[in-house]
Amino acid sequence: MFSTLAFVSVALSQTAQAADLTDLEMRWLKGIAPVVGHTRQVLALPLDVVVQPQDTPGMAPLSLGFVDGRCKLVLSMRGNAEGQRQIDAIKPALLGATLELMAAHEMGHCRRYLDGAWYGVPAGFVAAKAPDGLTPDLQRAWLDMRSTRREEAYGDLVGLAWTREHHPELYPRLYAWLVAERSAGLIPGSHHDTLPWLALASDPATLSGATMFAAADGLWVRGLRD
């Protein structure tokens, strides 16, 4: 879940025809449809939805790629138990809103990459250097981990901003769900440790803006620390 942006160098599989889609794929597609429609029609971002027709064991069920200037929201459900497991783990009353949050998270990645800001930091922010004593490979891995963490935090805040705007009555429950997801098996400071940013968003009023991206920007900058 909440896969980091995949830089795709080969053509992604074409979206399957509706008649070829599985019930699970249709369930996910229905769940993310409000975010997809908003992204395309209101925000006018170049977005395609791709359903992988081949088996994809071990892949994130929902992820983002970027090909030829277009964002690719990729569903990888076949031969992959994780897609059903994630559905089963969500309370039925929260399913639609949770899938929307997950899709909005990926749109945060889309926006950052379209802006040419992926792995970038705001002016005036100086990221920490890798710890001394690491090999060059480990230094690069450490820096990549920290950069990924910042991007995951931005995605989480975008997801919560969408929830605030479209499901305000569910915000406390979706916020608690996201905190629980990020706390499970937590390694402090690792790729998916977005808890410092989430702590700033406990009050939905902190996520206000003309778009879900603008709503996330301020809190994301406030949460930057190394």
List C-alpha distances in Å: 220 to 8, 78, 111, 206. 26, 34, 14, 11
Torsion over CA: 21, 25, 26, 29 (sign): negative
pLDDT of residue 37: 97
pLDDT of residue 23: 95
pLDDT of residue 181: 94
Comparing 1-10, 45-54, 177-186, the range with the smallest average pLDDT is: 1-10
pLDDT of residue 226: 53
Q: Which residue has the tokens 């791709």?
A: 50
Comparing 106-120, 136-150, 195-209, the range with the smallest average pLDDT is: 136-150
Q: Is the pLDDT of residue 121 over 60?
A: yes
pLDDT-derived band at 120, boundaries 50, 70, 90: confident
Q: Is the pLDDT of residue 7 over 60?
A: no
Q: Which residue has the higher pLDDT, 127 or 145?
A: 145
Contact status, residue 159 vs residue 102, Cβ threshold 8 Å: yes
- Domain segments of the chain as ranges: 6-89, 106-223
If you average pLDDT over every residue of the chain, what do you get?
A: 89
Distance from C-alpha of 169 to C-alpha of 36, rounded to nearest angstrom: 22
pLDDT-derived band at 209, boundaries 50, 70, 90: very high
Q: Is the pLDDT of residue 127 over 60?
A: yes
